[in-house]
Amino acid sequence: MRPTVICFSGLDPSGGAGLQADIEAIGQSGAHAAIACTALTIQNSQQVFGFEATSKELLLAQANAVVGDLPIKCVKSGMLGTTDNIAALAEFLAQHPEYLYVLDPVLVANSGGSLGNQETLVKAFAQLIPFATVITPNTVELRALTGENDLDLATQKLFAMGAKAVLVKGGHEDTPEYIRNALYIQNELVSETRCPRLDGEYHGSGCSLASFIAGRLALGDDLKVAVHHSETWLFGVLKNAESPVTNGQKIPKRF
Ligand code: PLP
């Protein structure tokens, strides 16, 4: 059986982000996706109306049901929704030091809607940071996680908090022509990419990128190669993204 990534993330009814993005991206990476659902959200391509989080017990029961059954190599987390779910994931990771782990520190939806209480989530994420093979914040999340506005200082602070590698995604920065992503391993810049900025807003681009990275890591790529593959794949997927009838955020076409 294909190496498996277990995704701790939420369901997005629009199919652009969350679990569906994870499943499709991991499938496209060549790995298999398993699921531990953290929350059911109510949203479309334009806005989040609310969500109901899974209990800590239910979340762990889902994950534990497939441990030992599937060849899990990597954990990927996205929306966790509550501090209880973050604590549950930290417990799970402590029991499985053999798993690689991609931490996408989701705080809000790309449409701006709340996917949990920012302040408490930020504090709780600190427990997950030391487990992560790589953390994939956009610059808004990086600033929120560290309380630092300057991006170099914020990155350094994330390493001081126990990070091993960080992919800083520049999509929210004011660079109208391009998006700069930077990969740091042990606080050293190891690669930097600039891709042309595509028009419009996309729903689930961060989920897709982090999940593809997790899939490639599960298949044995080293981190730098996994990130490179994933960025190339994501660019194609966003170029082919489809516009909803309401003209909301575009839905990446991952097939
Ligand atoms: N996870 C869920 C369940 C979501 O609904 C969203 C956004 O709506 C995200 C994660 C983050 O999505 P993005 O990849 O657009 O940052």
pLDDT tens-digit map of 134-172: 999 999 999 999 999 999 999 999 999 999 999 999 999
Quote the longest CA-to-CA distance of the chain. Answer: 47
C-alpha span between 209 and 232 (Å, rounded): 10
Q: Which of 12, 52, 138, 211 to mutate to test the pocket of ligand 1 (most atoms within 8 A of CB)?
A: 12
Task: Please compute the mean of the pLDDT values over residues 30-55 and round it to a whole number.
Answer: 97
| pLDDT tens for each residue of 73-111 | 999 999 999 999 999 999 999 999 999 999 999 998 878
Q: Is 31 in contact with 213 (CB distance < 8 Å)?
A: no
Best probe residue, ligand 1, of 51, 102, 106, 121 (max atoms within 8 Å of C-beta): 106
Q: How far is the CA of 14 from the centre of ligand 1 (A)?
A: 10
Has residue 112 got a pLDDT over 90? no
CA distance 185 to 170: 17
Give the pLDDT mean for 40-50.
95
The domains of the chain, with CATH numbers, are 4-152+201-239 (3.40.1190.20)
The answer for residues whose C-beta is within 8 angstroms of residue 157's C-beta and 6 or more apart is 146, 147, 148
For atom 1 of ligand 1, the residue with the nearest CA is 18
% the chain with pLDDT above 90: 96
Q: Which tens digits make up the pLDDT trace of 187-217? A: 999 999 999 999 999 999 999 999 999 999 9
122: helix, strand or coil = helix
Ligand 1 atom closest to the Cα of residue 39 is 3
226: which 2 tokens? 């996994």
Q: Give, as one character, the DSSP assignment of residue 180.
A: E
Distances from the Cα of 246 to the Cα of 44, 59, 251, angstroms: 10, 34, 12
Residue 11's pLDDT band, with cuts at 50, 70 and 90, is very high
pLDDT recorded at residue 109: 83
Q: Give the integer Cα–Cα distance in Å for 133 and 247.
A: 37
- How far is residue 217's CA from residue 239's CA, in Å, rounded to a whole number? 24
User: Which DSSP category does 174 fall into?
Assistant: S
Predicted local distance difference test score (pLDDT) of residue 111: 80
What pLDDT is attached to residue 196?
94
Residues lining ligand 1, Cβ inside 6 A: 9-10, 12, 17-18, 41, 43, 78-79, 106, 109-110, 115, 203-207
Specify burial of residue 69 (Cβ count, 10 A radius: 0-12, 13-18, 19+).
Answer: exposed
Is the pLDDT at 65 greater than 90? The verdict is yes
* Residue 28 confidence (pLDDT) above 90: yes
How high is the pLDDT of residue 34?
98
Other CB atoms within 10 Å distance of the CB of residue 188: 9
pLDDT at 51 over 90: yes
Taking 90 as the threshold, does the pLDDT of residue 247 lie above it?
no
Q: What is the pLDDT of residue 108?
A: 86
